[in-house]
Amino acid sequence: MFRHIIRSLSLFAALVAVGCGDMKLQTDADFDASVLDPHIDMTAWEYFETRSDIFSKFMTAIELADMKEYYTQTAHPYTFLALTNTAVDGFVSGAGFSSVEEVPAESLQNLIRYHIVDGVYSSYGDLPVEPIFVLTLLRGEEGLMTMLTRKNPWMADAGKIVVNNTGSNGSSPMRLAVSSNIMPLNGVVHVFESHCYYKK
């Protein structure tokens, strides 16, 4: 059996050597480097509309909270932490309800306010690798939030946005964006599959 394997490997090596004998190495090639542009020519709300398959419940929560204007205006840039349907479902069930329509408007307003950060915080030089406190629209202690970006090139999640990194903001659960740095006309959008919140 061992001899059979050796003969097969020898035959394979000979065929490769014969087949590649006349091939020359390529010396040059035309290469046009490009980077994907994260900017989108629409507001955050218009972006959500293009992805209603994953943001429909978040859009409903925003409208029930009467806070749509933040996502449609272009006068002031914000960092929008967008919640997928999965994240909204987690919030709704955690609050003891079966649908977003059942949640009191004040609770939805607090949820939305915590997920809007004043100013633009992206991986493009705006956030350091160490957590910093940012100002959410939810004022007071419940509005405390930290953010950072992963920059280690050896990490699989390099460039990802992290909210409330472990130990940086009381006992708040750490959340990693599943999609980051989408740049609409009115700020930046980071997408999360679990809602963010402050816990003392």
Measured CA angle at 13 (ends 9, 19), to 5 deg? 145
> Mind giving me the DSSP string for 119-157?
S---TTTTS-SS-EEEEBSS-SGGGEEEEEE---TTSTT
Helix (H) or strand (E) holding 14: helix 2-20
Cβ–Cβ under 8 Å, residues 196 and 183: no
pLDDT value, residue 37: 84
Query: What are the CA-CA distances from residue 162 to residues 5, 141, 148 (Å)?
Result: 52, 19, 5
Q: What is d(CA 6, CA 67) in angstroms, rounded to the nearest whole number? A: 72
Q: What is d(CA 24, CA 128) in angstroms, rounded to the nearest whole number? A: 47
Does CATH number 3.40.50.300 belong to domain 44-192? no
Work out the burial of residue 95: count CB atoms within 10 Å of its CB; fewer than 13 is exposed, 13-18 middle, 19 or more buried. middle
- Residue numbers in the chain where pLDDT is lower than 50: none
pTM of the complete model = 0.82
Domain ranges across the chain: 44-192
Q: At residue 195, what is the residue type?
A: H
Three-state secondary structure call for residue 17: helix
Helix (H) or strand (E) holding 106: helix 105-114
Report which of 45, 78, 42 is spatially closest to residue 61, judged by C-alpha positions.
Answer: 45
pLDDT value, residue 34: 67
pLDDT tens, residue by residue, 10-44: 666 665 666 555 666 666 677 676 667 889 999 99
- Residue 63 backbone dihedrals phi, psi, to 5 degrees: -70, -40
Cβ–Cβ under 8 Å, residues 45 and 72: yes
Work out the burial of residue 141: count CB atoms within 10 Å of its CB; fewer than 13 is exposed, 13-18 middle, 19 or more buried. exposed
pLDDT value, residue 189: 98
